[in-house]
Structure 1
Amino acid sequence: MDTERKKDGESSLSRGLSLLELFSPEENEMSISEMARRVGMPKSTTHRLVVDLLRWGALEKSRGGVRLGVRLFELGHLVPDHSRLRELAIPFAHSLNEITNLTSNLAVREGSEIIYIEKINSRDLKVPHSRIGGRLPMHCTALGKAILAYSSAQFVSSILEGELAQVTPKTITSPDALRREIAGVRQSRVAYDFEESQLGLFCVGAPIFARSGRVVGALSVTGATSRSQARSFAGVVLASSHALSHALGAPSSAFAAA
Structure 2
Amino acid sequence: MSVIAKVSAILDAFTADDRGVGFAELQRRTGLAKATLHRLTAELVAARLLDRVDGKFHLSGHLFQLGMRASVERGLIEVATPFLEDLYERTHETVHLGLREGAEVVYVAKMGGHRQAKAPSRLGGRMPLHATAIGKALLAFAPAAVRTSFLKGPLARLAPRTITAPRILRGQLDEAVEKGVTFEFEESAVGIVCVGAPVLDRRDLAVAAVSVAGPVTRFQPQKHATAVKAAAAGIAATLARRQGLLE
Q: TM-score, normalising length from structure 1?
A: 0.85
Is 1:97 paired with 2:88?
Answer: yes
Instruction: Return the match for 1:235 from 204, 215, 226.
Output: 226
Question: Which residue is 2:201 aligned to?
Answer: 210
Question: Which residue is 2:162 aligned to?
Answer: 171
Following superposition, the deviation at residue 107 of structure 1 comes to 0.5
Question: Which residue is 1:253 aligned to?
Answer: none
Aligned residue pairs total: 241
Is 1:59 paired with 2:50?
Answer: yes
Question: Which residue is 1:192 aligned to?
Answer: 183
**Are 2:162 and 2:187, in contact at CA under 8 Å, matched by a contact in 1?**
yes
Following superposition, the deviation at residue 110 of structure 1 comes to 0.8
SS in 1 for 2:220: helix
Question: Which residue is 2:245 aligned to?
Answer: none
Structure 2: runs of 5 or more not aligned:
242-247
Provide, for residues 185-205 of structure 1, a one-character-per-residue CA deviation record: whole Å limited to 9, x for no partner.
011101000111111111000
Following superposition, the deviation at residue 15 of structure 1 comes to 2.0
Following superposition, the deviation at residue 36 of structure 1 comes to 3.5
Instruction: Return the match for 1:75 from 50, 66, 77.
Output: 66
Greater alpha carbon shift after TM alignment, 158-167 vs 120-129: 120-129
CA spacing shift, 1:158–1:190, aligned 2, 3 Å: same
Task: State the distance in 1 between where 2:37 and 2:153 align.
Answer: 35
Structure 1: runs of 5 or more not aligned:
1-9, 251-258
Whichever residue aligns with residue 57 of structure 1, its letter is: R
Task: State the distance in 1 between where 2:219 and 2:52 align.
Answer: 51
Provide, for residues 111-157 of structure 1, a one-character-per-residue CA deviation record: whole Å limited to 9, x for no partner.
10001111111333343431101111101111111111211111101
Is 1:27 paired with 2:18?
Answer: yes
SS in 2 for 1:24: coil
Following superposition, the deviation at residue 42 of structure 1 comes to 3.7
Whichever residue aligns with residue 111 of structure 1, its letter is: G
CA spacing shift, 1:84–1:173, aligned 2, 3 Å: same
Pairwise mapping of residues 40-189 of structure 1 onto structure 2 (< 5 A)? 40-189=31-180
SS in 2 for 1:249: helix
Q: CA RMSD in A?
A: 2.2
**Are 1:209 and 1:248, in contact at CA under 8 Å, matched by a contact in 2?**
no
Greater alpha carbon shift after TM alignment, 23-32 vs 173-182: 23-32
Task: State the distance in 1 between where 2:29 and 2:136 align.
Answer: 34
SS in 1 for 2:240: coil
Following superposition, the deviation at residue 77 of structure 1 comes to 1.1
**Are 2:153 and 2:166, in contact at CA under 8 Å, matched by a contact in 1?**
no
Question: Which residue is 2:2 aligned to?
Answer: 11
State, as a whole percentage, how many aligned pairs show the same letter: 36
Provide, for residues 72-111 of structure 1, a one-character-per-residue CA deviation record: whole Å limited to 9, x for no partner.
2122112222211111111111111111111111111011
Question: Which residue is 1:256 aligned to?
Answer: none
Provide, for residues 22-63 of structure 1, a one-character-per-residue CA deviation record: whole Å limited to 9, x for no partner.
333443333445534554444322211112212322112322
CA spacing shift, 1:173–1:66, aligned 2, 3 Å: closer
Whichever residue aligns with residue 115 of structure 2, its letter is: D
Q: TM-score, normalising length from structure 2?
A: 0.88
